[in-house]
Structure formats: C-alpha cells, structure tokens
Amino acid sequence: MAEFSFSDLETIIRDRAHSGDPDSWTAKLFAHGIDKAAQKLGEEAVETVIAAVKGDRQGLVSESADLIYHWLVVLGLSGVPLSDVLKELESRTGRSGIAEKASRPKG
C-alpha cells in the first residue's frame, strides 16, 4: 500500500470542495468561506497545543490530523497550492532557521 501524503489529502479536499454533498464537511467549509475555515484552523491549532502540553500522545496525533486538514482547506480556499508552501520550505533548507527568520522584513 502506498503511503498517504499531504498531496493526497489536498486532492481529496479539492474534489470534495464544490461537490455539493450535504454530508461532506469539506463542502460545508468551502460553502461557508475563508472566515469559518480559518476559525476552525485556529481552534485546531489551540487543541493541538493543549494535547502537546498535556503529553496526550493520542490527542496530539488526532488534533494534528485535524490541524493539517483544516490548514489544507484554508490553503485551498485561498488559492494557494501545497506545492507553493513546499517550495518555500525547500528554499529555507540551505540556511539556519535563525538566519532565515532574521532575513524577513520587519513589520
């Protein structure tokens, strides 16, 4: 069996986004727009942090899955392909994180 990837999930989200399926959470998020999806992303980020701080391994796994899903929905609603994010990450691999952060414009 092939390993499931972020790209696989991005494709599933794209396929379900405008399906009109009343049982699809993805379709509902796309119908409600970026504000709702971004709200859900924030909620999942907080829940992921809480699970990590508590040392709740299974909670961290579950909440991380929710976080990644909602992040990809927000990217999809924003018209930003996952490949753009991966290219950005790749461009950062040749320098330290501290140097990369220091090179960003202030503001």
Mean pLDDT of 75-102: 88
Lowest mean pLDDT among 46-55, 71-80, 86-95: 86-95
88's tokens? 């950005």
Domains of the chain (ranges; CATH) run 4-80 (1.10.287.1080)
Give the global pTM: 0.86
pLDDT of 95 reads 73
pLDDT of 100 reads 66
Q: Within 10 Å of residue 60's Cβ, how many Cβ atoms?
A: 19
Cα-only R_g, the chain: 16
**Residue 43: Cβ-neighbour burial (10 angstroms; 0-12, 13-18, 19+):** middle
Mean pLDDT of 80-100: 87
Long-range contacts made by residues 21-24, C-beta under 8 angstroms, separation at least 24?
none
Distance, C-alpha 55 to centroid of its chain: 22
Q: Is the pLDDT of residue 107 over 80?
A: no
Using one digit for the tens of pLDDT, what is the confidence trace for 31-52?
A: 999 999 999 999 999 999 999 9
Q: What are phi and psi of 79, to 5 degrees?
A: 70, 25
